[in-house]
Chain A
């Protein structure tokens, strides 16, 4: 097993499976968006008020299909903000309806942050 990333963010993933932690490590070192997608999916699954084993697909709506309520959405977003060190405004959040929206939105946020740093 590889050592965990040194960042504080990695500690938040302690309760997640090894493959998720590895994906996050991969994303941190390479910026690989596919690895980030795996992390976002795992976080969504972790905050689903009614957990389900079914496969999660991009077209699924967070509230109507996955049983999220506004509090669970807020929990998910706060966790992703802390993990990825990005800031997501309420207004932006209103545009996110499906899992695909969320994945694209998070990827865009992270990309914007990387560009700003570069």
Chain B
């Protein structure tokens, strides 16, 4: 490995929490990732079977379809008090459960983070269009004379930060990130900076999204979703036959800590965030730059920040949403960063298995990279049959590679040409 000593503090990951289409705990997620088993299921929205959205990466064992928290159900392992429930959006339930799981995984009791001025919380979600719509319809119906007092905190795009910060009594810092499908990746990147700079010792990074008509159908209007009903055909990143993305939901949480803080409390260090980078396309409100210029620069900056050369990278978890334009742009960016210098990391998009969980993607896929690093494997592209010619020279394994990666990259891109890349590394002291 090419590690350049840095005066900055090292940032490690000590806890993961999963509520995802492929499982709601580490063991299940790991088994499904390794086996290449997808978590897509048939869906129908607004009672209209004719809509061109047939499958989604659904979350199992939760029922949060209602706009009333009183109707919601979630796994009995997690206690969520009424005081918290009343202000949550549906995806907030996923997030609380994933965060409780991550704290448990990190060996952190709730009291260790409550009121701890060196622990922060960075969140990513698009808010809840469903709750917003419901509340505003009610408001209009009574000509503005009556509204839901929880209408703002349960709907706008800071809903995760508001609610989780209050529930877990976070006092170090709390912040939300809104860069569409790069949001959680930004949250993780800036969390890394805060720890490296010594402003915080620990940041809990949370991404969450819900799956419902209000979240997904606007993407139908953009012609961004796949209309396929067979999950293996619907989400097939980098395949010539791809025709759009499949929506996904859930929550993922990563506990980031300063390496010394983690070591002092005897935490199990799972991986290191070696660096990150970002860059913008400056091109279109929604489309990727045709050659992936912003993503290429984001990857190069991430590698430089980690002091890692392209040929040291073993695995790339691509953004790869299965859209015709986006996957091609990313393929060209990857060829430019790796192919041009003769490097050939394994590349896969786990969105083939999960669908595309929008703001949550960066956190979920960073957590998948940590599983790959700790468990010694690299996920494949099980739905890929005929790679797009734009992928020429890229190593896109169809099945899981049973080799232990040491360095993994995690790519994310969002509307407006926002691109983020993380460099994750197996942790070694010294």
- Tell me the A residues contacting B by CB distance below 8 Å: 15, 48-51, 67, 71-72, 74-75, 78, 81-82
Contacts and interface: CB of A to CB of B under 8 A. Distances in A.
A78 B149 contact: yes
Judged by DSSP, the binding face of B is: loop
B379 to A, nearest CB: 43
6 contacts: A49-B83, A50-B83, A71-B86, A71-B150, A72-B86, A78-B149
B268 interface: no
Contacts of A74: 149
Interface in B115-162: 146, 148-150
B82 A15 contact: no
A63 to B, nearest CB: 14
Interface residues of B, number: 10
A92 B149 CA distance: 18
Contacts of B7: none
Nearest to B147: A78
B266 interface: no
Nearest to B150: A71
A71 B146 contact: no
A50 B81 contact: yes
A82 B147 CA distance: 12
B265 interface: no
Interface string B64-81: 000000100000000001
Contacts of B70: 15
A52 to B, nearest CB: 11
Contacts of B82: 48-51
A67 B86 CA distance: 14
A83 to B, nearest CB: 12
Nearest to A15: B70
Contacts of B149: 71-72, 74-75, 78
B71 to A, nearest CB: 9
A10 to B, nearest CB: 17
A81 B146 contact: yes
A49 B86 CA distance: 8
Contacts of A51: 82
Nearest to B152: A71
A51 B85 CA distance: 12
Complex A-B, nearest 6 residue pairs according to Cβ-Cβ distance, in ascending order:
A49-B83, A74-B149, A71-B149, A75-B149, A50-B83, A51-B82
A71 B149 CA distance: 6
B275 to A, nearest CB: 42
B251 to A, nearest CB: 23
A49 B82 CA distance: 6
Given A49-B82, A75-B148, 14 more contacts: A48-B82, A49-B83, A50-B81, A50-B82, A67-B83, A71-B149, A72-B86, A74-B149, A75-B86, A75-B149, A75-B150, A78-B146, A81-B146, A82-B146
